[in-house]
Structure 1
Amino acid sequence: MLNVVVMVSGGGTNLQAIIDAVHSGKITNTRIAGVISNNQNAYALTRAEENGIAAQCISPKQFSDRTEFNRALLDVVDAMEPDLIVLAGFLVVIPPEMIRKYEHRIINIHPSLIPSFCGTGYYGLKVHEAALARGVKVVGATVHFVDEGTDTGPIILQKAVEVQNGDTPQILQRRVMEQAEWQILPRAIDLIANGKVSVTERIATVNE
C-alpha cells in the first residue's frame, strides 16, 4: 500500500481528483496519509478534513528564517511516513535536503507541456497567460519527478489540450485542469503505486 502525502497551497482541485480516484478505484494500492498546506485558509485543508484525512498547515511565516521552516517541514513530512509526496499546487520551494531524502519519491503537476512555459515564475494563471500571448495552438499538463531544479525532473506523463479561439487564461486553465491535470496526476500515482515507473539517467519510463 502506497502512503501518499499531498502538499497544496490553494483550493485543492487536484487533491480532490486524487481523493475521487482513490474512492473510485482508478488509483489502486494507495492511501492518502496526509495533506500539508502552507496556507491556513486553503480550501484543500477542508477537503482533507471532510474526507477523514490528516491535515496540517505549516508556513514559512511561522518561523524566523527559512532554515528553521525547512527543518520543521521535513519533520512534519517524515512523521506522515510517505512513500510518495505529491505537489499539487504547492507554492513553496521544497528544501534541497527533502528532495535528496525523497529522491524519485516526489512528483509535481505542472500546467504546461514541459519544457514549454515552465521554470521560475511560471505557475498558476501565469502559465496560461504566457501560452496565449505566444499564440500556441496546443497546451497541456505534465507530471514529473521533482529534482533540485524548477520543473526540470524526469517527466512521467504528459497530456495535450487544444487552445480554442476566444480562450482567456481562466478558461484555458479550467480546460487544462479538466482534460489533463485531473486525468494524468491520478494515473501517475496509480502507476507508481503498482511499480510501473522507473528512472534511468534522468529519463522516467512507464512500463504498463
Structure 2
Amino acid sequence: MLRVLVMVSGGGTNLQAILDSVQSGEITDTEIVGVISNNPGAYALERGEKAGVPVECISPKSYASRAEFNQEFLKAIDSYEPDLIVLAGFLVVIPPEMIQKYRNRIINIHPSLIPSFCGTGFYGLKVHEAALARGVKVVGATVHFVDEGTDTGPIILQKAVEVQNGDTPEVLQRRVMEQAEWKILPRAIDLIAHGKVSVTDGKAIVSED
C-alpha cells in the first residue's frame, strides 16, 4: 500500500482528482495519509477533511526564520511516513534537505509541456498567460519528479491540450486541468504504486505493461 502525502496551497482541484480516483478505484493500492497546506484558508484542507484525511497547516509565516520553518516542516512530513509526496499546486520552496531525503519520491504537477513555460515565475495563470502571449497551438501538463531545480526533475507523464481561438488564460487553465492535469496526476500515482516508474540517468522510465 503506497502511503501518499499531498501538499497544496490553494483550492485543491488536483487533490480532489486524486481523492476521487482513489475512491473510484482508478488509483489502487494507495492510501492518502495526509494533506498539508501552507495556507490556513486553503479550500484543499476542507476537501481533505470531507474525505476523512488528516489535514495540517504549516506556514513559513508562523516561524522566525526559514531555517526554523524548514526544520518543523520536515518533521511534520516525516510524521506521516509517506512513500510518496505529491505537490498539487504547492507554492512553497521545498527545502534541499527534504529533496535529498525523499529523492525520487516527490512528484509535482506543472500546467505546461516542460520545458516550455516552466521554471522560476511560471505558476498558476502566469503559465497560461505566457502560452497565449506566445501564440502556441498546443499546451498541456507534466508530472515530474522534484529535484533541486525548478521544474527540472525527471518527467513521468505529459498530456497535450489544444489551444482554441478566443481562449483567455482562465478558460485555458480550466481546459488544461480537465483534459490533462486531473488525468495524468492520478495515473502517475497509480503507476508509482505498482512499481512501474524508475529513474535511470536522470530520466524517468515508465513501464505501462
TM-score (norm 1): 1.00
Q: In structure 2, what is the equivalent of residue 25 of structure 1?
A: 25
In the alignment, the residues of structure 1 paired with residue 52 and residue 61 of structure 2 have an alpha-carbon distance, to the nearest angstrom, of 27
Q: In structure 1, what is the equivalent of residue 82 of structure 2?
A: 82
Q: In structure 2, what is the equivalent of residue 198 of structure 1?
A: 198
In the alignment, the residues of structure 2 paired with residue 28 and residue 52 of structure 1 have an alpha-carbon distance, to the nearest angstrom, of 18
Per-residue deviation at 1:130? 0.1
Q: In structure 1, what is the equivalent of residue 14 of structure 2?
A: 14
In the alignment, the residues of structure 2 paired with residue 128 and residue 42 of structure 1 have an alpha-carbon distance, to the nearest angstrom, of 22
Q: In structure 1, what is the equivalent of residue 174 of structure 2?
A: 174
Q: Tell me, what secondary structure is at the counterpart of 2:132?
A: helix
Q: Which runs of 4+ in 1 moved over 4 A?
A: none
Identity of aligned residues (%): 78
Per-residue deviation at 1:53? 0.2
Per-residue deviation at 1:164? 0.1
TM-score (norm 2): 0.99
Per-residue deviation at 1:71? 0.4
In the alignment, the residues of structure 1 paired with residue 167 and residue 185 of structure 2 have an alpha-carbon distance, to the nearest angstrom, of 24
In the alignment, the residues of structure 2 paired with residue 14 and residue 180 of structure 1 have an alpha-carbon distance, to the nearest angstrom, of 11
Query: What are the ranges of 5 or more consecutive residues in structure 1 without an aligned counterpart?
Result: none
Q: Tell me, what secondary structure is at the counterpart of 2:28?
A: coil
Q: In structure 1, what is the equivalent of residue 183 of structure 2?
A: 183
1:117-156 → structure 2 map (5 Å cutoff) = 117-156=117-156
Residue 91 of structure 2 is aligned to residue 91 of structure 1: yes
Q: Tell me, what secondary structure is at the counterpart of 1:171?
A: helix
Post-superposition Cα deviations, 1:118-141, rounded to whole Å, max 9, x if no partner, equal 000000000000000000000000
1:29-68 → structure 2 map (5 Å cutoff) = 29-68=29-68
Q: Tell me, what secondary structure is at the counterpart of 2:189?
A: helix
Per-residue deviation at 1:190? 0.1
In the alignment, the residues of structure 2 paired with residue 143 and residue 51 of structure 1 have an alpha-carbon distance, to the nearest angstrom, of 24
In the alignment, the residues of structure 2 paired with residue 96 and residue 201 of structure 1 have an alpha-carbon distance, to the nearest angstrom, of 20
Per-residue deviation at 1:89? 0.1
In the alignment, the residues of structure 1 paired with residue 109 and residue 51 of structure 2 have an alpha-carbon distance, to the nearest angstrom, of 22
Q: What is the one-letter code of the residue matched to 2:16? A: Q
In the alignment, the residues of structure 2 paired with residue 64 and residue 201 of structure 1 have an alpha-carbon distance, to the nearest angstrom, of 39
Aligned residues: CA RMSD: 0.3
In the alignment, the residues of structure 1 paired with residue 63 and residue 3 of structure 2 have an alpha-carbon distance, to the nearest angstrom, of 28
Question: When the two structures are aligned, how many residues end up with a matched partner?
Answer: 208
